[in-house]
């Protein structure tokens, strides 16, 4: 990808990419805001931009081979994670944080293709701080096109069937570890991913 994006602050970035603003689930109101960053890039290779974010945040950021392009952006006093999301969205890229805290940056289309054949795992999350039926709508935006979530009222649990990345996102949102949730027998991924089921993509579910 060789396109560039002029982001005059995060506000303009989100206006230029409304899908991103709608896709990212609302964070809890008590979420601790991450350190804020101010920076300017002009035709900078995406690798240099990611290195700058890695240095600033102290996070390990790994660029996928399909994550290419150059960035022209001006960020003024914005939380670094929000600024990174805005820049990547303008480049057709997405960042996913794994269970070890490593942020992997990929091309959205390539990520969707890879995830279309990943195994589906079902986990049961027992809820103690709220009603499972009320949390179902909060979990739904995190799901991949093949994912599902069901509320079991008798045990006040959420039953989530989806790929590993989504399970990690659900566990983070609920404040639990995937190791402590109960694993059910996984379903094998279908060999052919039907295009009609791809209305929700990696750009709007559980990504960083």
3-state secondary structure the chain: CCCCCEEEHHHHHHHHCHHHHHHCCCCCCCCCCCCEEEEEEEEEEHHHHHHHHHHHHCCCEEECCCCCCEEEEEEEEEEHHHHHHHHHHHCCEEEEECCCCCEEEEEHHHHHHHHCCCCEEEEEEECCCCCHHHHHHHHHHHCCCCCEEEEECCCCEEEEEECHHHHHHHHHHHCCCCCCCEECCCECCCCCCCHHHCCCCHHHCCCC
Q: To the nearest whole percent, how much of the chain has pLDDT over 70? A: 69
For 51-57, the CB contacts below 8 A with 24+ separation are 53/80, 53/83, 53/84, 56/80, 57/81
**Which pLDDT score is estimated for 97?**
87
pLDDT in tens, 163-189: 998 998 899 888 876 554 554 433 333
Which residues of the chain are in CATH 3.30.1370.120 domains? 118-189
pLDDT in tens, 36-87: 999 999 999 999 999 999 999 999 999 998 899 999 999 999 999 999 999 9
Q: Over 60: is that where the pLDDT of 100 sits?
A: yes
pLDDT in tens, 25-36: 333 334 457 899
Q: Over 90: is that where the pLDDT of 9 sits?
A: no
pLDDT category at 200 given cuts 50, 70, 90 is very low
Average pLDDT over residues 125-151: 91
Which residues of the chain are in CATH 3.55.50.30 domains? 6-112
pTM comes to: 0.56
Name the residue with higher pLDDT: 187 or 122: 122
Q: Does the structural domain 118-189 have CATH classification 3.30.1370.120?
A: yes
**Which pLDDT score is estimated for 34?**
87
CATH architecture of 6-112: 3-Layer(bab) Sandwich (3.55)
Residue with the two structure tokens 């009222």: 153
Strand pairing report for 6-8 and 70-79: parallel
168's tokens? 């990690």
């Amino acid at each position: 990808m060789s396109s560039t994006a002029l982001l005059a602050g995060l506000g303009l970035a989100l206006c230029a990419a409304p899908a991103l603003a709608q896709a990212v689930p609302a964070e809890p109101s008590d979420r601790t805001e991450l350190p804020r960053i101010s920076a300017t890039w002009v035709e900078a290779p995406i690798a240099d931009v990611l290195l700058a974010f890695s240095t600033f945040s102290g996070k390990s950021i790994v660029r996928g081979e399909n994550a290419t392009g150059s960035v022209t952006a001006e960020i003024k006093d914005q939380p670094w994670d929000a600024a990174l999301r805005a820049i990547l969205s303008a480049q057709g890229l997405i960042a996913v944080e794994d269970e070890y805290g490593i942020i992997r940056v990929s091309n959205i289309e390539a990520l969707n293709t890879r995830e279309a054949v990943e195994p589906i795992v079902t986990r049961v999350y027992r809820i103690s701080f709220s009603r499972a039926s009320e949390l179902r709508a909060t979990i739904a935006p995190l799901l991949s096109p093949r994912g599902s979530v069901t509320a079991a009222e008798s045990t006040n649990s959420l039953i989530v069937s989806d790929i590993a990345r989504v399970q990690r996102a659900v566990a983070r949102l609920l404040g639990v570890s995937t190791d402590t949730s109960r694993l059910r027998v996984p379903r094998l991924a279908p060999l052919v991913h039907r295009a009609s089921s791809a209305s929700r993509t990696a750009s709007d579910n559980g990504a960083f």
